[in-house]
Amino acid sequence: MKKNSTVVKKDLLKKAGIVSAAMLLGISMMACGSSSGSDKASTEKTTVASEAAKETKKAGEKAEEKSEAQELKGKVSEIKDFMFTVTTDDGKSYALNFDKKPEGLDKVKEGDEVIVHYTGELSEVDSFTGEILSVEKA
C-alpha cells in the first residue's frame, strides 16, 4: 500500500502542477489581453486628441484673420454706458457693445460723424462680438 500511496501522491502533485501552470498561463494571457486593449484605447485617445488639436489650430487661424483691424464710417445715433450705435451712409445701423469704454468715445456725441476701428465681424442682426479699438471724429 505504501507504494500505491506514493504513486497517488505523485499523481496529485503532477495534477496540482498542471492546474497551477494552467492558472498562471490563463492569468498571464488575461494580463496581456487587457494591456492590448488599453493600448488600443490609448491609441484612439491619442488620435482624437490630435484631431482636436488640429481643429483648434484651424479655429485659431480663422480668429487671427478676423482679428485684423477694420474701419466703420458713419454717424453716431445713440450712446449708452455699454454700447453705441453707428448708422452708415447707406442706412445700415450697427450696435457696438463693449465692456471697457473704447478710446475716444468720450470725445464724440450723438450726431457726430465717426470712424470706428474694430476687430471681429459686424452684423445688423447679431450682437457685436469683436473688440472696439478706438473711436475718432471723421
The string of DSSP letters for 49-88 reads HHHHHHHHHHHHHHHHHHTS-EEEEEEEEEE-SSEEEEE-
Q: In terms of residue numbers, what domain contains 128? A: 70-137
Looking at the structure, tell me whether residues 1 and 61 fall in a common domain. Answer: yes
- 24 and 82 in a single domain? The answer is no
Same domain, residue pair 75 and 54: no
Contacts of 109 (CB under 8 A, 6+ apart): 76, 79
In percent, how much of the chain has pLDDT > 90?
41
Same domain, 84 and 119: yes
Question: What is the tally of structural domains in the chain?
Answer: 2
Residue pointed to by grid coordinates 484605447: 41
Per-residue pLDDT band at 86 (split at 50, 70, 90) = very high
Same domain, 54 and 21: yes
- In this predicted structure, what is the pLDDT of residue 65? 47
Domain match, 115 and 130 both: yes
Average pLDDT score over the chain: 81
pLDDT given for residue 80 in this prediction: 93
Give residue 27's pLDDT: 83
For the stretch 92-131, pLDDT in tens is: 999 999 999 999 999 999 999 999 999 999 988 988 989 9
What is the pLDDT at residue 57? 60
Beta carbons of 62 and 119 less than 8 angstroms apart: no
> Are 61 and 75 in a shared domain?
no
83 or 40, which is more confident: 83
Domain boundary among 66, 94, 109: 66
Give the tens place of pLDDT for each residue, 53-77. Answer: 666 665 555 555 456 889 999 999 9
Domain CATH for 120:
2.40.50.140
Q: Are residues 33 and 88 located together in one domain of the fold? A: no
Contact 99, 88 (CB under 8 A): no
